[in-house]
Structure 1
């Protein structure tokens, strides 16, 4: 079954967003019915899906590699989950065995490493292609999938694709066999050319015989600019500098690396330094590892989740610690309750919150939270993904700031990434810095880092445009009589808290949500809205979804108890021409009267 929509942005059910993008992080669910069908597991949706959001949908490149590993090293009826290291795989194994009785002898790890030092090319030395597979009976897949989703520490699709090639060639082998000799491997052919992606120079192929280029690869590599793996370290440094705020203009890699640090940087950016920026495979990995390392530093205490959170933040605290104290409204009354508990002697590990929250865009009172944390000895972890560090500076009120680089920092919807920043002026900085120096390993895959750096070069100018577009859309929605609420930081009752952290040139972000007085109006508006429609946010193009249906379908009553309506439509505003974007939303609203 296919869905026919007379829209410019008509993308079939299950197609990647953007279309023909091999490593896209969103998937088209273009109607309300398609979103419900996905949640209900209906074949016409599920069997059409070429991809999906990576923590919820195992990318086909990852699945193919996992199946190949099971075929060679597994047994009938087994499946595999793939992770960058043995340590992470062991965490997955422990998660499964702690929840499945008698599974200790049934879950094992297969470590795949390059066959020998002699077989390693310069490229393999740079990227260190290793994969650890957790093999388990297939009936335990739902449990293993929970760890994959919550931790965010699984391999990326690019890592799987690359390492699968080495595995097929016999260069990536089970670790106990590394003494076997083999010919050197230079890696997959498309990465052997050394044209610089940083200068955008095409490879000279006039005297070479080349294979036909796959169209998805052509789009992915942006018209022929090949990946130069040797740029990996510099790409990661440039990304960390952008996150630290030391790069405040649109610059390429060469300028980013050669730029001299701003002597006034610490004062202007609250002490944020590139040395305190850590990269992770995705934003949820940043949160998962923040929580894990805080427990390692202070002990396994309960944490506080303040404000209605993105689904996995609460799940992490509930499943990987003694539990959570949840304040889903993010209100001052809840902070009063917290203060009463603290005065009564209750103690907590950390408070996790988003700034602003998703999907109601409420901003927590970070000033008061910071004061309570300082007095009663708990950490503060702030997820700034939606606000983003060009619009807001939350570091002065936090011990740790996390962000999903998959979103607006990248914008292109074709790469995953996450960041974590320690506050060097925070009360607990020394002990946290020690923990991270002992524990941290950079698992962000080389190719992903190169795409992330390239995508983020125009981050500054994109944010300005998106801020402006989002406010224009809010104005259109707020003026319509059938609209019940428009959620946006500028129009929230918590705007004062947002403005307290807003940077001098900062705006109110690119995410907004809208509710209507009837479900029928929500459905009509969504179905008629001429935008891309699927999971994720922060894309360079406008992307919308019935967010609560998509993220909380199995717990809609629970959401309602916290004031989050099932029929809410969330919109991530893109870079489209402003007047065209306004017309697009006006047409969808006009459909409510027909």
Structure 2
């Protein structure tokens, strides 16, 4: 299985991951120089990309629609293909864009406005952070109807009468007796944004406007709170809640909500959720938990969180070929009915073909994470005992073991993501590693990523930024490993070679 999945094109920059899938959400970046070229937007790197994570790189089918708009419809200036008219109207209102046009054609919505570089960059960032983009399958159907492509990509799906209900049923089965309200979204980040907007609206009316982040979170979770809240604050210490407790004693009456990740990305840290829940209940502060790094089949945050958000693009999908997210609203939350009523105003609903593909893939969710978790345990122990690895961050580490066990569904079930700190030069390790390397995680095949380079290049690439990372305990050379289902002995052999003299 290792050779079948990892061998083709693993050394070629820009190839799709998965390679033969036109809807792939990752791409191969086999060298550190490729990662740097991608982040610095060098032509020699970007021109080789056949795919990319859709919130950051427009899919080839979306680019084709943009070209069609320019050439056949005469559209000039900034244009953005978004998921719905609702999303376009929200962008126009949020950024006060004057003279904007919202064009609809065969279900494809294009937002157009006069040249304004500042507004263009704001909208690009908003689409990246909040995931309101159009699906590659929706774009594909449009192009096929217009005669701009000859055929549709063939894939296995469950073509049911209501694929949305089918996916929700599979996810709901992971939470028996909890009666969670499940909303499917175009991406995990759209789920975060929708929850944030709805809850922020409710809490602001109570005079509570400060949003808290516990731990170093995924880049777009950070950006949503930094850019779109009325104020935010981070607490870097996850295991020790004393700093948070002291802050709440003084400012608890101003706090709107707190956002956590379970575990955090990339350090796989887990707070003591029973203790955190008791602390937040003291001040009536709702908790949003992003569980994407582990997934609903591995962890259960329903006893503690008012809202659970998951990127289904990851472990629920397993094949890195569907953009989708899920919001789980907890009926035990005092905000349940408000969120149930208000979240849909900001939720972007997935396209039917994406739902059909996800309905097929989610059926293998539990089996997938069990096998991946077993491999993660084996690999983590290998890295812990290797003299050229400085640190290993995983769900079974001494730091995380106890707290992770409080949210894990099974005693020996581990998160499928491991982050390591190589003790040898990064280029030597990364460039020589003969495994897939690119963004995203949760795949059935092992995928390695230079997390800090791809998520926070502005910090990695400057001395001031590196000093800040050292201060908060983040190694710029972190390698995040999404463990796959391959033979772990074969995986270990590849890591041994990359770490050898």
Taking structure 2 as the reference length, what is the TM-score of the superposition? 0.90
* Corresponding residue for residue 391 of structure 1: 298
Q: How does 1:265-284 map to 2 (within 5 A)?
A: 265-266=176-177, 271-273=178-180, 276-284=181-189
Alignment of 1:555-570 (within 5 A): 555-556=459-460, 557=465, 558-570=468-480
The offset of 1:13, in angstroms, is 0.5
Contact 1:514 1:569 in 2 (8 A): yes
Structure 2 residue runs of 5 or longer lacking an equivalent are 1-5
Taking structure 1 as reference, are residues 91 and 555 closer, same or farther at Cα in structure 2, changes over 3 Å only? Answer: farther
Matched residue, 1:575: 485
Matches within 5 A, 1:98-109: 104-105=98-99, 108-109=100-101
Matches within 5 A, 1:421-440: 421-436=328-343, 439=345
Query: Quick one: which of 448, 452, 457 aligns to 1:548?
Result: 452
Q: Deviations over 1:36-89 (max 9, x none)?
A: 12112222211111111110101121122133234455554x021112222211
Task: Give the corresponding residue for 2:173.
Answer: 245
Q: Which residue of 2 aligns with 1:524?
A: 428
Shift of 1:20: 2.6
What's the secondary structure of 1:444's corresponding residue? coil
Kindly state the Cα deviation for residue 31 of structure 1 after the two structures are TM-superposed.
Answer: 1.1
Distance 1:484 1:380, change over 3 A: same
Match of 2:138 in 1: 159
1:165 is displaced (CA, Å) by 4.1
Aligned CA distance change for structure 1 residues 445 and 8 (closer, same or farther; 3 Å) = closer
Asked if 1:112 is matched to 2:88, the reply is no
1:319 aligns with 2:318: no
**1: CA distance, partners of 2:158 / 2:173:** 26
Deviations 1:403-444 (A, max 9, x none): 0000111011111110010111233323323334x6365610
Q: Does residue 1:494 correspond to 2:400, yes or no?
A: yes
Larger Rg: 1
Distance 1:166 1:426, change over 3 A: same
CA displacement at 1:236 relative to structure 2? 1.8
Deviations 1:143-171 (A, max 9, x none): 221011011011111112223444679xx
CA RMSD, aligned part only? 2.4
Q: Answer yes or no: is 1:236 the counterpart of 2:164.
A: yes
Partners of 2:436 and 2:395 in 1: how far apart? 23
Could you say which residue in structure 1 is the equivalent of 2:23? Answer: 23
Following the alignment from structure 1 to structure 2, what is the Cα–Cα distance between the partners of residues 26 and 32? 16
Q: Secondary structure at the match of 1:12?
A: coil
Residue 584 of structure 1: aligned partner: 494
8 Å CA contact 1:354, 1:364 repeated in 2: no
Deviates more, 1:419-428 or 1:535-544: 419-428
Equivalent residues of 2:132, 2:186 under 8 A apart:
yes
Q: 1:414 to 1:136 in 2, by over 3 A?
A: farther
CA distance, structure 2, for counterparts of residue 134 and residue 405 of structure 1: 30
Give me the whole-angstrom Cα distance separating, in 1, the residues matched to 2:496 and 2:308.
37
- Tell me the alpha carbon deviations over residues 499-556 of structure 1, each in whole angstroms, 9 at most, x when there is no partner: 11111355111100111234x1x32222222211100001110000111111111023
Note closer, same or farther for the CA distance 1:17–1:488 as it changes in structure 2 (3 Å cut).
same
Aligned partner of residue 391 in structure 2, secondary structure: strand
**C-alpha displacement at 1:141, in angstroms?**
3.1
Could you say which residue in structure 2 is the equivalent of 1:88?
Answer: 87
Q: Does 1:408 align with 2:315?
A: yes
Whether 1:286 aligns to 2:163 is: no
Alignment of 1:331-480 (within 5 A): 331-332=239-240, 335-345=241-251, 346-436=253-343, 439=345, 443-480=349-386
Give aligned pairs, total.
485
Contact 1:81-1:135 within 8 A present in 2 as well: no
SS state at 2:480 partner: strand
1:306 aligned residue (203, 207, 214): 214
Structure 2 CA distance for partners of 1:142 and 1:435, relative to 1, 3 Å = closer
| Structure 2: distance between partners of 1:322 and 1:441 | 21
Q: Does 1:137 align with 2:115?
A: yes
1:201-220 superposed matches below 5 A: 217=153
**Cα displacement string for residues 111-132 of structure 1 (whole angstroms, at most 9, x for unaligned residues):** 3155xxxxxxxxxxxxxx3524
Is the 1:408–1:539 contact (alpha carbons within 8 Å) kept by the matching residues of 2? yes
Residue 210 (structure 1) aligns with: none
Contact 2:10 2:28 survives alignment (8 Å): no
